[in-house]
Chains A and B, each alone.
Chain A
Amino acid sequence: MKRIVVLSFLVAAASSAVAGDGVVVIQDLLKDVSAADRAAFAGALTLGEGRVLSANFKALKGLPDDRLSAVKAALAPKAEPKRKGKKAPKAGKMATLSELLKGVPKPVADEFMDGLSFIDGRVTSAVTGGLKKAVPEKRYREILDALAAPGTKVPHLTPKGVCGNGWCDDSACVSRGSERRHCESSQDSTCYSTCK
Chain B
Amino acid sequence: MLLDLQIAAVLLLTAGCASPERRALAAARRVSEAADRMPPERAAVAEAAKGLGAADISAERLRVCATETVAAVHDAAASAAFYRPESEDMVLLEERVLDEKVRRGMRAPRDLKRMFFAYMGARMFDRAAALRTRFPEVEFPSMPERFLVASSSAPGRPVYAVEADWKTVERTALPLDRGIRVVMLLFPGCPAAEAATEDLLAEPATARALREGAILLTERFDAEGVAAWKRRFGLGSFFIARRASDFPEFNFAASPHFYFLKDGVVRSELTGWGGPGGPSVNRARWLAELERAAR
Q: A83-B279, A161-B141, A162-B222 are in contact. Are A180 and B272 (CB under 8 A)?
A: yes
A156–B39 touching, CB < 8 Å: no
B82 on interface, CB distance cutoff 8 Å: yes
Q: A154-B189, A196-B274 are in contact. Are A133 and B79 (CB under 8 A)?
A: no
Report which of A19, A22, A159, A196 forms a contact with B192, defined as CB distance below 8 A: A196
Report which of A22, A83, A157, A171 forms a contact with B198, defined as CB distance below 8 A: A83
A66 on interface, CB distance cutoff 8 Å: no
B220–A162 touching, CB < 8 Å: yes
A152–B191 touching, CB < 8 Å: yes
Complex Cα distance, B224 from A85, in Å, reads 27
A167–B191 touching, CB < 8 Å: yes
> In which size bucket is the chain B interface?
35 or more
B225–A166 touching, CB < 8 Å: no
B191–A21 touching, CB < 8 Å: no
A183–B190 touching, CB < 8 Å: yes
Per-residue CB proximity of A142-183 to B under 8 Å, as 1/0? Answer: 000000000011111111111110111011111110011111
Looking at the assembled complex, report how far the CB atom of A26 sits from the nearest CB atom of chain B, in whole angstroms: 12
B191–A183 touching, CB < 8 Å: yes
B193–A83 touching, CB < 8 Å: no
Per-residue CB proximity of B192-234 to A under 8 Å, as 1/0? Answer: 1111101100100000000000000000101011001101100
B257 on interface, CB distance cutoff 8 Å: yes
A180–B275 touching, CB < 8 Å: yes
A132 on interface, CB distance cutoff 8 Å: yes
- B residues less than 8 Å from A16 (CB atoms): none
Q: Which residues in window 219-257 of B have CB below 8 A to A?
A: 220, 222, 224-225, 228-229, 231-232, 252-257
- B residues less than 8 Å from A181 (CB atoms): 192, 272-275
Interface of B, helix, strand, loop or mixed by DSSP: mixed
Report which of B82, B192, B279 forms a contact with A191, defined as CB distance below 8 A: B192
A127 on interface, CB distance cutoff 8 Å: yes
A163–B202 touching, CB < 8 Å: no
B38 on interface, CB distance cutoff 8 Å: yes
Complex Cα distance, B40 from A85, in Å, reads 36
B125 on interface, CB distance cutoff 8 Å: no
Report which of B83, B188, B256 forms a contact with A156, defined as CB distance below 8 A: B188
- B residues less than 8 Å from A166 (CB atoms): 191
Report which of B39, B199, B229 forms a contact with A186, defined as CB distance below 8 A: B39
Chain B minimum-CB-distance residue to A186: B40
Residue from A21, A167, A187 having most chain B Cβ neighbours under 10 A = A187
B253–A185 touching, CB < 8 Å: yes
Residue from A154, A180, A187, A191 having most chain B Cβ neighbours under 10 A = A180
- A residues less than 8 Å from B252 (CB atoms): 185
Complex Cα distance, B225 from A180, in Å, reads 24
B155 on interface, CB distance cutoff 8 Å: no
Report which of B83, B189, B199, B270 forms a contact with A168, defined as CB distance below 8 A: B189
Complex Cα distance, B35 from A127, in Å, reads 12
Q: Which A residues fall within an 8 A CB radius of B?
A: 19, 21-22, 25, 81-85, 115, 119, 127, 132-133, 137, 152-164, 166-168, 170-176, 179-187, 189, 191-196
Q: Which B residues fall within an 8 A CB radius of A?
A: 35, 38-40, 42, 78-79, 82-83, 108-110, 117, 139-142, 187-196, 198-199, 202, 220, 222, 224-225, 228-229, 231-232, 252-257, 270-279, 282
Q: Can you list 28 contacts pairing A with B, beta carbon distance less than 8 Å?
A: A83-B279, A84-B202, A84-B279, A132-B110, A152-B191, A155-B189, A156-B225, A158-B142, A160-B140, A160-B141, A161-B141, A162-B225, A163-B188, A166-B191, A168-B189, A168-B190, A173-B192, A180-B282, A182-B257, A182-B271, A182-B272, A183-B255, A185-B40, A185-B42, A185-B82, A191-B192, A196-B192, A196-B194
